Every structure is written in C-alpha cells, then in structure tokens.
C-alpha cells in the first residue's frame, strides 16, 4: 500500500534531500523540525551559505519542506 505521495505506507526510514544551490542557509527548516533532526553541516554552497543536514531521526512529517521559502529541501521515504 502506498500513501498520497506514492511512498510505501509503512516506510519507517526517511532521508532529506537538499538542492544546495537553492538553499540560503536561513535555518528555518532546522528551527521548525519537531524532532530536532536537522542542523547545519560544515558544507557551504557556491553563495557561501551553510547547508543543513540530517543529524537525527526524521519521521517524515515534511514540516521542513513546508517552511522552506525556497523549496530547497524535501523528504523521501526509503523502503527498508
Ligand atoms: S520531515 Fe519532519 S522530522 Fe524529518 S527533517 Fe523534516 S521536519 Fe524534521
Ligand atoms: S529552510 Fe530551505 S533555504 Fe532555509 S536553510 Fe533550510 S533548506 Fe536552506
């Protein structure tokens, strides 16, 4: 069975994808993640902004996606 996004409904693992070029390092995704699963990485994009990365367990709520003003981050379910 699949959810509305065509992902496995029972998927338990999620990964976060970021288009580095679009990210402006505002940190909204980090601040809004209810699981504190995001933090800044040491990676800097071509404009000098620090890129977030997954540091904890993502539960796939997609709040980071919703709040990113530049649509630079999204979440994908990974089949286990
Ligand atoms: S989908 Fe939810 S839990 Fe996962 S990184 Fe984004 S805000 Fe955090
Ligand atoms: S909210 Fe979007 S633009 Fe801001 S740091 Fe996160 S991914 Fe980058």
Would you give per-residue pLDDT tens digits along the chain (80 residues)?
Answer: 677 777 766 667 999 999 999 999 999 999 999 999 999 999 999 999 999 999 999 999 999 999 999 999 999 988 76
CA 27 to ligand 2 centroid distance, Å: 6
Tokens of 71: 């649509």
Residue nearest to atom 2 of ligand 1 (CA): 61
How much is the pLDDT for 80?
Answer: 65
How much is the pLDDT for 11?
Answer: 61
Count Cβ atoms below 10 Å from residue 52 Cβ, excluding itself: 26
The residue with tokens 């040491």 is: 42
Strands 13-18 and 50-54 come out as unpaired
Residues lining ligand 1, judged by CB closer than 6 Å? 14, 16, 33, 35, 37-38, 58-64, 75
Rounded distance between C-alpha atoms, residue 75 and residue 65, angstroms: 7
74 neighbors 19 (Cβ within 8 angstroms)? no
Residue nearest to atom 8 of ligand 1 (CA): 33
CATH topology of domain 13-78: Alpha-Beta Plaits (3.30.70)
CA 48 to ligand 1 centroid distance, Å: 24
């Amino acid at each position: 069975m699949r959810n509305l996004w065509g992902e496995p409904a029972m998927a338990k693992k999620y990964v976060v994808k970021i288009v580095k070029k679009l990210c402006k390092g505002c940190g909204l995704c980090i601040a809004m993640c209810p699981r504190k699963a995001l933090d800044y990485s040491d990676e800097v994009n071509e404009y000098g902004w620090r890129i977030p990365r997954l540091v904890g367990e993502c539960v796939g709520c997609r709040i980071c996606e919703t709040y990113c003003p530049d649509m630079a981050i999204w979440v994908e379910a990974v089949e286990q």
